[in-house]
Amino acid sequence: MSSQKIDRRVKYTKMVLRQSLLELMKSSPIEKITVKNICELADINRGTFYSHYSNPRALLEQIENDLFNDLKATLDRYLTDADLTSGSYEMIIEIIKCIEMNSDICKIILGEHGDHDYLKRIVNLAYEKFRESWIVNMRVRDDKLTEYFFNFISSGSIGVIQLWIQSGMVDPPEILASMIDKINSQGLKMFFDNKNENVTETLLKRENKCYNQAD
Amino acid sequence: MSSQKIDRRVKYTKMVLRQSLLELMKSSPIEKITVKNICELADINRGTFYSHYSNPRALLEQIENDLFNDLKATLDRYLTDADLTSGSYEMIIEIIKCIEMNSDICKIILGEHGDHDYLKRIVNLAYEKFRESWIVNMRVRDDKLTEYFFNFISSGSIGVIQLWIQSGMVDPPEILASMIDKINSQGLKMFFDNKNENVTETLLKRENKCYNQAD
DNA sequence: CCTCTTTCCGACAACGTGTTGATTATTGTA
DNA sequence: TACAATAATCAACACGTTGTCGGAAAGAGG
Q: What does DSSP assign to residue B135?
A: H
Q: Is residue A106 within 8 Å of A165, Cβ to Cβ?
A: yes
Closest partner CB to A144 (pick from B116, B153, B171):
B171
| φ/ψ of residue B54, rounded to 5 | -85, -25
Backbone Cα Rg of chain B? 22
Each domain of chain B, given as residue ranges in start order, spans 2-50, 62-212
The winner for highest mean pLDDT among A12-26, B60-74, B106-120 is: A12-26
The tens digit of pLDDT for each residue in B184-199 reads 777 666 665 544 445 5
Q: Is the CATH code 1.10.357 the one for domain A67-212?
A: yes
Of A59, A123, A61, residue with least CA distance to A95:
A123
Tell me, in Å, how far CA of A19 is from C1' of D5? Answer: 28
CA-CA distance, A110 to A120, in Å (whole number)?
A: 10
Query: Given pLDDT bands bounded at 50, 70 and 90, which one contains residue A2?
Result: very low
CB contact under 8 A, A151 and B144: no
CA-CA distance, A165 to A131, in Å (whole number)?
A: 26
Query: Given pLDDT bands bounded at 50, 70 and 90, which one contains residue B134?
Result: confident
> Chain C: nucleotides under 7 Å from a protein CB?
5-11, 16-21, 26-29
CA-CA distance, B58 to B161, in Å (whole number)?
A: 26
Q: Which CATH superfamily is domain B2-50 in?
A: Homeodomain-like (1.10.10.60)
**Which chain B residues are within 8 Å of A160, Cβ to Cβ?**
148, 151-152, 155
Q: Provide the CATH number for the domain formed by B62-212 in this structure.
A: 1.10.357
SS3 assignment for chain A: CHHHHCCHHHHHHHHHHHHHHHHHHCCCCHHHCCHHHHHHHHCCCHHHHHCCCCCHHHHHHHHHHHHHHHHHHHHHHHCCHHHHHHCCHHHHHHHHHHHHHCHHHHHHHCCCCCCCCHHHHHHHHHHHHHHHHHHHHCCCCCCHHHHHHHHHHHHHHHHHHHHHHHCCCCCCHHHHHHHHHHHHHHHHHHHCCHHHHHHHHHHHHHHHHHHHCCC
pLDDT at A82: 58
Question: Within 10 A of B208 (CB to CB), how many other CB atoms are there?
Answer: 9
